[in-house]
Amino acid sequence: MTSTDSTDLLDIGEVIEASGVKASTLHVWEKAGLIDVAQRNGLRRQYEPEVMTRIAVIVVAKRAGFSLDEIGDLFTPGIFDEGKTLLTSKLDELRQRRDELDAAINGLEHAIACPASSPFACEGFQSTLPDVLPVT
């Protein structure tokens, strides 16, 4: 029997190259419980190929504004199972954030199209300001 049964595991170097995420960052994410190490070859970490999906999720979630702790919650089976309430409330947050983002985009589009000398002189921009105050 050849050593083919570990052929599908990825060295950290491969993960780094394929993902663009640095080793130090992967270590941090691992310590935060976001990614698992399948096994070690000596000291060296070896990952299941699925780690790439995981990393993609983390990257997307971070851009969406999740903290590492919150991302960890998404990965916790119990939390996911129990009525998915956490996920649902996250979803609400995300929707709201998207709406705000949309408002910001519209505002900036107005401001760019406008001859005014600053966003504040552009009433199209002004009108897109949601009543975000008081900050909750």
Partner DNA sequence: CAACAACCTCAACTCGTGTTGAGGTCAAGA
Partner DNA sequence: TCTTGACCTCAACACGAGTTGAGGTTGTTG
**Given the rule CB under 8 A, which residues bind its own copies?**
17-21, 50, 52-57, 59-61, 63-65, 74-75, 77, 80-81, 84, 87-88, 90-91, 94-95, 97-98, 100-105, 107-109, 111-112, 117-120, 126, 129-136
Regarding 97 and contact with DNA (CB under 7 A), the answer is no
Phi-psi region of 8 (alpha: psi -120 to 50; beta: other; left: phi over 0): alpha
Peptide bond into 130 cis (omega under 30): no
Residue closer to DNA (CB basis): 22 or 98: 22
- Residue pair 9/38 in contact (Cβ under 8 Å)? The answer is yes
Among 2, 4, 24, 136, binds DNA (CB under 7 A): 24
Q: Which residues contact 80 (CB under 8 A, 6 or more apart)?
A: 74, 86, 87
Identify which of residues 43 and 135 has a Cβ nearer to its own copies in the complex: 135
- 66 within 8 A of 90, measured Cβ to Cβ: yes
For the record, the structure tokens of 128 come out as 């897109």
CB of 55 to DNA, least distance (A): 11
Q: For residue 44, state whether it binds DNA (rule: CB under 7 A).
A: yes
45 binds, among DNA, its own copies, none (CB under 5 to 8 A by kind): DNA
CB-CB contact of 115 with 123 (8 Å): no
Binding-site ranges for DNA (CB under 7 A): 11-13, 16, 22-25, 27-29, 32, 41-45, 62, 67-69
